[in-house]
Amino acid sequence: MAWNGIAGRYYDYPIEVTAGESAPSLTWARYMFHRHQHWLADREAMAAGLSSWRQSAKGCLNVAELEGRVAIVTGSSSGIGEAAARRLADAGAQVVVNSASSVAAGESVAESLPTDSIYVQADISEQAQGIALVDAALHRFGRLDILVNNAGWTSPVPHEDLESLTDEIFRRTFDVNVFGTWWLTKAAMPHLRESPDGNVVNVTSIAGVRPIGSSIAYSMTKAALNQLTVLLAKSCGPVRVNAVAPGLVSTPWTADWDEMHELVANKAPLRRSATPDDIALAVVTLVTNTYTTGEIMVVDGGLSLTI
């Protein structure tokens, strides 16, 4: 114990007192030095505790909330899908990571997750490959609880340039974004019905609710997915079906869209594009809120309020 003559009370400072030296005779410099050392230690402990609290509070998830659940996340070798896979795994879910290509990246994501997770290559625009993706999840884990339909495709075409929106671009956009999502959800639904809280989260876009988007075809597909979401929610209960509709997100796909990112930074109330984790947190919120279905959650920093 060390005597604080100013305050008139003791502090738990481990100050050595030499033989014959009384506590009140400790020099002010020694007292202040040791007090500062303890203040630094207390500040570091508080900062560590606050950091830990922020990490656990961000997303409002208990680390074991999804323990034992199995999730398929399509298009999860990077970007939004990767962030969603990581958030789900952090909450305890076993995750099937997927991509149509980017095999090495997908395998790396699966191997880095904290739960028993796997990577399965499949192009969901091919119906047989989507079915095989579901079968792979069932073969490995014996169940399926969560489907995150994140895989998508686009080729930017100015809306006024109708001739440049070729039939090939149009069909490919619908094949991946609509048909692929539809086929995969149909294949998964019987197994989701067996889960105590089977649910689907479709990653759509504000292009599905506002007259914007990388192409007219892309906007049409995202509007179709939003409508599919509410129709399935109504028809397939108690399986829950929701959607997250992001604005512009900073991903490898949009890395060179500098003009668009600048526009969002100037126009959106929150003054920036989304990060993949912003969208992943919304996905996990819908996965874990067991009384929510049929919702289209817009996550765009307020951009759609201004356009």
Q: Residue 128 is encoded by which pair of tokens?
A: 């047989």
d(CA 255, CA 229): 29
Indicate the Cα dihedral angle 301, 303, 305, 307, nearest 10°. 180
Indicate the Cα dihedral angle 137, 140, 146, 150, nearest 10°. -40
Cis peptide before 238 (omega within 30 of 0): yes
Q: Per-residue DSSP letters for 98-110?
A: EESS-HHHHHHHH
d(CA 281, CA 295): 15
Q: Does the annotation count 218 as an active-site position? A: yes
d(CA 250, CA 276): 7
The residues, ordered by sequence, that sit 6+ positions from 29 with a Cβ below 8 Å of its Cβ are none
End-to-end CA distance of the chain: 65
d(CA 179, CA 177): 6
d(CA 222, CA 224): 5
Q: Residue 265 is encoded by which pair of tokens?
A: 């930074």
d(CA 200, CA 157): 30
In the numeric block, the tokens 């874990």 are attached to 288
Phi, psi of 15 (to 5 degrees): -95, 130
Please pick, among 10, 31, 119, 218, the residue that the annotation labels catalytic.
218
The set of catalytic residues is 218
